[in-house]
Amino acid sequence: MLKTSDLKVARAWAIKEMFRGFWDYRYAGWAKRHFDRWYAWAIRSRLTPIKKKAKMIKNHLPNILTYFKHRISNPVAEGLNSKIQTIKANARGYRSFAGFRNSILFYCGGLDMAP
């Protein structure tokens, strides 16, 4: 079993895999209990990078737990922003905001150009 292995990489992998289950919970309270168990293990792991990440996650835990209330994340917004930045870079500047806006609506708006 990975959890009882003496190899550092095996322990790090097991800790990472245990955290993956955090996102499967439906309620913030149960997710917090899972996190608390995971955090205790991560801090006792004697693996400095794991301890550093565990502390970082703990500092942001209240904000992370809001995911379980709203079930909203931002990958779609990030993807859309990336596409807009690509449009802007490909054009190397627009003469007006209206031209920039029209390009965004054309490429990101899902327009059907077929008659």
pLDDT per residue, tens digit, the chain (115 aa), is: 555 667 888 889 999 999 999 999 999 999 999 999 999 999 999 899 999 999 999 999 999 999 888 887 788 788 888 888 888 887 777 788 888 888 888 888 766 666 6
Tokens encoding 51 = 């301890």
pTM (predicted TM-score)? 0.62
Task: Report the b/e string of 3-26 with b at 16+ CB within 10 A.
Answer: eeeeeeeebbebbeebbeebeebe
Tokens encoding 84 = 């807009």
Residue 4 has a pLDDT of 62
Residue 88 has a pLDDT of 81
Nearby residues of 109 by Cβ (< 8 Å), 6 or more positions away: none
Alpha carbon distance 36, 65 (integer Å): 13
Segment holding 4, helix H or strand E: none
Q: Are 109 and 85 in contact (CB under 8 A)?
A: no
